[in-house]
Structure 1
Amino acid sequence: MTHLSAVSLPIELTDDERQPCEIWTRVMGYHRPVTSFNTGKKGEFAQRKAFVECALPE
């Protein structure tokens, strides 16, 4: 039995081969894809800031 050694070659994709990532967010108690938002809601979503919780002092 012949064993082939695995050569790790970098995989390079063109932009045409890539699949867009679908972003979902929670709106009014349920989840919706951002692509379904109207223009104003998309702008509001882009201006949101991520919440970062600080660690409690010991």
Structure 2
Amino acid sequence: MKKQELLEKNHDSRTRCIVYTRVMGYHRPVESFNVGKKAEHNQRVKFVESKDCI
């Protein structure tokens, strides 16, 4: 079964996840951003620490 089919099949039983980000020193939910701020958030590069640094 494809991933998209599985997601559609279980759509009603899934729990909604709220994503928060730190803006100007405090945390805000991304869903409350305007269209421009959401686009800016999607373009950000996510930091991934390599396991060699640990």
With structure 2 as the length reference, what TM-score do the two structures score? 0.68
- SS of the residue corresponding to residue 16 of structure 1 reads helix
Is 1:28 matched with 2:24?
yes
Aligned residues: 44
- Structure with bigger helix share is 2
Higher CA-based Rg: 1
Is 1:48 matched with 2:44?
yes
Write the distance in 1 (CA, Å) between the matches of 2:45 and 2:30. Answer: 16
Write the distance in 2 (CA, Å) between the matches of 1:35 and 1:51. Answer: 21
Write the distance in 2 (CA, Å) between the matches of 1:47 and 1:16. Answer: 29
Q: Please report how far the alpha carbon of residue 24 of structure 1 lies from its aligned counterpart in structure 2 after TM superposition.
A: 0.1
Equivalent in the alignment of 2:5? none
The CA RMSD measured in Å over matched residues stands at 1.9
Give the percent of matched residue pairs that are identical in Structure 1 and Structure 2: 58
Q: Return 5+ residue gaps in structure 2 as ranges.
A: 1-8
